[in-house]
Amino acid sequence: MTKSRTRSVIWFQGAGCTGCSISLMNSEYPDIQNLLLDELVPGTGLAFRFHATLMGPTGRPALEVLERIPEAQAGEYFLVVEGAIPTAEDGRFGMVGEVPMAERVRALAQKAVAVVALGTCAAYGGIPAGTPNPSGCLGTGAFFRKEGIEVPVVNVPGCPPHPRWFVETMVHLLLFGLPRPEELDEVGRLKSVYQGLIHENCPRRADFDVGRFASAFGQPGCLYELGCKGPYTDSHCPFQRWNGGVNWCIGAGHPCIGCCEPEFPDGMSPFYRKFTAEEAKASYRRNR
């Protein structure tokens, strides 16, 4: 069904790998064509006004959208940030149209109705902010706190995030408006989209409970001894699975690396080493 009403989205890419966009293009229900062209909730669809990977225009006509929409639709559009914000050296590690990403995001955020920080890089800094972080990358929320920008931020982490987590978050925003504080967890994610430790819903949990652990890749059993971070990671991967529900990391025999958590990647590393008791306690405490 075509859209009778639209809400504009400016999708701004900072420091990342574009995997968040690629993941969204794998969306199934709705598929990417439906998402771009049709209603997302009854009567309303999203209008992607700027998306460097998907849009046709380039150069000045494309960049002008970044100035036009905030003026024409102040307080109405959603800003989706993908990737972290480089802040070192006056932001010169990341430029879009010869303007630092940090400056672009500052201007775009101030007139948005809400910001969706999509992907772990945008939500918490992620890989670009990993030690030693020479470009001074920050997650969106941390960048706004540093800059004194007060705009509601909803985090949609994952490296990359599952397409459903973006879709479900946007549906929530369109149907119910900005999340109430009790609808968000302590790291800014919608509880309805993320809550539930992987460890609580894992098909290998019965192996964990009886102490049947894989000691090498390819073996059956729980992957805890191989470094699985499922006990410290909230996400719906076990029942949504990936690539159209075909499989997911643990289903393919790979330990969870905790990519939806603020500690990723430094605090979830080394990926193939079991956490010490102290590391486990610290991560578990924050998660609960």
Site for ligand SF4 in 164-203 (CB under 6 A): 198-199, 202
Q: CA distances (Å), 7 to each of 41, 43, 150, 181, in order?
A: 11, 11, 21, 23
Active site residue 222: yes
**What is the smallest separation between the CB atom of 20 and ligand FSX, expressed in angstroms?**
4
Q: How many residues does the chain have?
A: 288
39: Cβ–Cβ under 8 A, 6 or more apart, which residues?
Answer: 1, 2, 3, 4, 45
Active site residue 137: no
Active site residue 202: yes
- Regarding 119 and contact with ligand FSX (CB under 6 A), the answer is yes
**What is the smallest separation between the CB atom of 128 and ligand FSX, expressed in angstroms?**
7
Active site residue 228: yes
User: Which entry of ligand FSX, ligand SF4, none binds 231, CB below 5 to 8 A by partner kind?
Assistant: ligand SF4
- Regarding 259 and contact with ligand SF4 (CB under 6 A), the answer is no
Say if residues 83 and 13 touch (Cβ distance below 8 Å). yes
* 265 cis-preceded (ω within 30 degrees of 0): yes
34: Cβ–Cβ under 8 A, 6 or more apart, which residues?
Answer: none
CB atoms within 10 A of CB 76: 13
- Regarding 20 and contact with ligand FSX (CB under 6 A), the answer is yes
Q: Hey, what are 207's tokens? A: 């192996």
Closer CB to ligand SF4, 256 or 259, in the complex: 256
Active site residue 260: no
Binding-site residue total for ligand FSX (CB under 6 A)? 14
Is residue 58 helix, strand or coil?
coil
- Regarding 82 and contact with ligand FSX (CB under 6 A), the answer is yes
Closer CB to ligand FSX, 83 or 141, in the complex: 83
- Regarding 250 and contact with ligand SF4 (CB under 6 A), the answer is yes
Active-site choice (17, 51, 137, 236): 17
Say if residues 174 and 43 touch (Cβ distance below 8 Å). no
Distance, in Å, from the CA atom of 8 to the CA atom of 61, rounded to the nearest integer, reads 17
Would strands 5-13 and 78-82 be described as parallel, antiparallel, or unpaired? parallel
Site for ligand FSX in 210-249 (CB under 6 A): none
Residue of 6, 18, 201, 240 interacting with ligand FSX (CB under 6 A):
18
Active site residue 121: yes
Cα torsion through 195, 198, 202, 208, rounded to 10: -130
Instruction: Select the residue whose beta carbon is closest to ligand SF4 and give its number.
Output: 230
- Regarding 159 and contact with ligand FSX (CB under 6 A), the answer is yes
**Footprint on this chain of ligand SF4 (rule: CB under 6 A):** 198-199, 202, 204-205, 208, 222-224, 228, 230-231, 250, 256
**Footprint on this chain of ligand FSX (rule: CB under 6 A):** 16-20, 82-83, 119-121, 126-127, 159-160
